[in-house]
Amino acid sequence: MSRHLYTLFQPIQGYGRVAFYHYLEFKPSLLLAPFVSCFWLTEPAPADQKSRLMCVPEVDRVLPNGCSDLIFEHDIYRNQYRTLYSGCYDMPFTIAYDWNFPVRKFGIRFFPGGAHSLFGISLEDFANSHSYIDSVLPFWKQELQYEILETPSIFKRIEMIEEYLLCKASQNPTQHTLINNLLYDIFSVNGITKVQELAQREAVSTRQMNRMFYQWIGTTPKKFCDIVRFQAMMEKLQSQGIYDGLSLALDYGYFDQAHMIKDFKRHYGESPLIAFRECNQ
């Protein structure tokens, strides 16, 4: 993947609203920027904050972002470990937290196309689902998950996984100029384009482009464009001081607010007005 693409698309996630769970993101090194959007961490707040924080909502909202994730989980109460691969989602979902059964997670959010480029796997079969890592990457080293989660320093964990991923990148990363060009075309217009226009611009058939997106991203070009547009709208909602639904609809290619709200709810689970309030709490 091209490093320049990383500067054009920095997806927003819905984590971090639950006060008794901490959520942090960390940027990858420049060498990994073409493959990794960010590293992230969620973990329960210290136990002495329980009484003060238990009054807040216990659900986090996870938003479609065109990415896929490798997730290292540690069930602290049962002292159990597991590693999951989360494919590209085109719909939102929620994560519920239980203070009595705390779980610590460390994740790698792959940039769109990054997982396929590093590992050479087709992502179509893993879309909208979580899978155990063995079924996705049979060559995965299970001991790496224990080393990562048992390392106290988040920066040391990132150093360890970056070393592993850079090794994969140097072995034989899959590269493709066409997918880079298509992603650039989509990011540069915030996803506001038609599939036929994309195909004509890159002199490729829509059938070939669909096959490529299933393989590299895990979804269709149309759904991916919708996700990119939704992410651009989320960025706008986070930055504007006053909610203006009409301007939001017109700025992002909708003929009216009703169509925009319907599309937005499909990706967020609630209306853009509620999203605006949640972004500015």
What structural domains and CATH numbers belong to the chain?
A: 3-171 (no CATH), 177-279 (1.10.10.60)
The pLDDT, as a whole number, for residue 278 is: 84
Asked whether the beta carbons of 131 and 19 are under 8 A apart, the reply is no
The pLDDT, as a whole number, for residue 145 is: 76
Is it the case that residue 161 has pLDDT exceeding 80?
A: yes
Question: If you write DSSP's letter for every residue of 211-237 in order, what string do you get?
Answer: HHHHHHTSS-HHHHHHHHHHHHHHHHH
Q: What is the pTM of this model?
A: 0.91
Among the listed ranges 1-5, 102-106, 137-141, 253-257, which one has the minimum average pLDDT value? Answer: 1-5
Query: Percent of the chain, pLDDT > 90?
Result: 58
Compute the average pLDDT of residues 134-154.
81
Asked whether the beta carbons of 182 and 198 are under 8 A apart, the reply is yes
Residues 4, 9: Cα–Cα separation, whole Å: 10
Closest CA to 261 of 276, 242, 239, 278: 276
Model confidence band, residue 54 (pLDDT cutoffs 50, 70, 90): low
Compute the average pLDDT of residues 17-27.
82
Closest CA to 69 of 152, 3, 127: 127
Model confidence band, residue 173 (pLDDT cutoffs 50, 70, 90): low
Tallying the residues shown for the chain, one arrives at: 281
Asked whether the beta carbons of 215 and 116 are under 8 A apart, the reply is yes
List Cβ<8 Å contacts ≥24 apart for 194-201: 195/221, 195/222, 195/225, 198/225
Calculate the CA 142 to chain-centre distance: 23
The pLDDT, as a whole number, for residue 144 is: 78
Average pLDDT of the chain is 87
Is it the case that residue 212 has pLDDT exceeding 90?
A: yes
- The position carrying tokens 């605006």 is 276
Asked whether the beta carbons of 272 and 233 are under 8 A apart, the reply is yes
Compute the average pLDDT of residues 159-168.
91
